[in-house]
Amino acid sequence: MQQSRKRIETHGTIALTSSIAVMIEFQHVFKSYGRGRNILADINFRVTAGEFIFVSGASGAGKSTLLKLIGGLEPASRGSIQVNGQRLDKLSAHARPYLRRAVGVILQDTHLLYDRSALQNVMLPLAVTGQSSGQASARARAALDKVGLAGKEDMNPIELSGGEQQRLAIARAIVNRPAILIADEPTANLDLDTARRIMNVFRDFNRVGVTTLIASHDQALMAQYATRTLRLEPGKFFDTGALA
Ligand SMILES: Nc1ncnc2c1ncn2[C@@H]1O[C@H](COP(=O)(O)OP(=O)(O)OP(=O)(O)O)[C@@H](O)[C@H]1O
Ligand SMILES: [Mg+2]
């Protein structure tokens, strides 16, 4: 009796585990730049599909570094990182573009191209996908529409407000329909109303299943959106919602 119940429970655990998709997994990850000190030391966490995560910590704590590791923009010094089912340190040249498409990245500096129109900026990530320019343009227009920038396709980023530029960077990050969206301080230097509008754009993507991680200094704002916090402090890492 005892044994058969145990078997059922084990079975149940397996079913439960396999139904939750792990999108990001860090195992004993260390990061230093060159020969410098460890910015991140022995970081372990797991993010499942559809989570909305706030990455917090003082300036210099390593928030941007953490997001760059997830986006594959920086290599880990030690440890294993899996993103969307792939180990980043074992990624073949062939698999790299797929990872780029699976993860939409919005960096602290938006890296918009100021000599091109808003539409051309959003079309850039589509250039390598082999779509016709008509298809790419339609996808880019749809992305601009989603972030509330319909009608501004032909404007130069310099003609857009700070909040609009942030939304343009979000449109460029989501145009490939990524499974994971990571954003580094997307509401910095914006008034509260505009910041909320930007956060609502992320919330809408998250509601349709996009796993979302946002680094920010704005604890109060993030608390309204995120359900879990990864907090970095020198030499320490806190996870408010790790799965058992
Ligand atoms: N490319 C680099 N080369 C050397 N050191 C770096 C590099 N990038 C970041 N660092 C160092 O790593 C530490 C963490 O930087 P990081 O940008 O990850 O912090 P942060 O938490 O995002 O800070 P902020 O809130 O100011 O954006 C800092 O001490 C920084 O000087
Ligand atoms: Mg930063």
Q: What is the 3-state secondary structure (H, E, C) of the chain?
A: CHHHHHHHHHHHHHHHHHHCCEEEEEEEEEEECCCCCEEEEEEEEEEECCCEEEEEECCCCCHHHHHHHHCCCCCCCEEEEEECCEEHHHCCCCCHHHHHHHEEEECCCCCCCCCCCHHHHHHHHHHHHCCCHHHHHHHHHHHHHHCCCCCCCCCCHHHCCHHHHHHHHHHHHHCCCCCEEEEECCCCCCCHHHHHHHHHHHHHHHHCCCEEEEECCCHHHHHCCCCEEEEEECCEEEECCCCC
Average pLDDT over residues 58-69: 96
Q: In what order do the strands lie in the sheet with 52-57?
A: 103-106, 180-184, 211-215, 52-57, 228-233, 236-239
Average pLDDT over residues 153-172: 95
Distance 182 CA to ligand 1 centre (A): 17
Average pLDDT over residues 217-233: 94
Check residue 10 and give its pLDDT: 41
Which residue's alpha carbon is at the smallest distance from atom 5 of ligand 1?
33
Residue 8's pLDDT band, with cuts at 50, 70 and 90, is very low
Ligand number with the minimum distance to the CA of 231: 1
Q: Are strands 52-57 and 78-83 parallel, antiparallel or unpaired?
A: unpaired
Pocket test for ligand 1, best of 31, 32, 33 (most atoms within 8 A of CB): 33
Tell me what the pLDDT averaged over the chain comes to: 89
Average pLDDT over residues 195-219: 95
Average pLDDT over residues 80-98: 89
Asked whether the predicted pLDDT for residue 5 surpasses 80, the reply is no
Check residue 113 and give its pLDDT: 95
Give the model confidence (pLDDT) of 38-55 as tens digits. 999 999 999 999 999 999
Q: Is the CB of 144 under 6 A from ligand 1?
A: no
Q: Is the CB of 40 under 6 A from ligand 1?
A: no
Q: Is the CB of 211 under 6 A from ligand 1?
A: no
Which residue's alpha carbon is at the smallest distance from atom 13 of ligand 1?
60
Check residue 15 and give its pLDDT: 43
Give the model confidence (pLDDT) of 95-125 as tens digits. 888 888 899 999 988 889 999 999 999 999 9
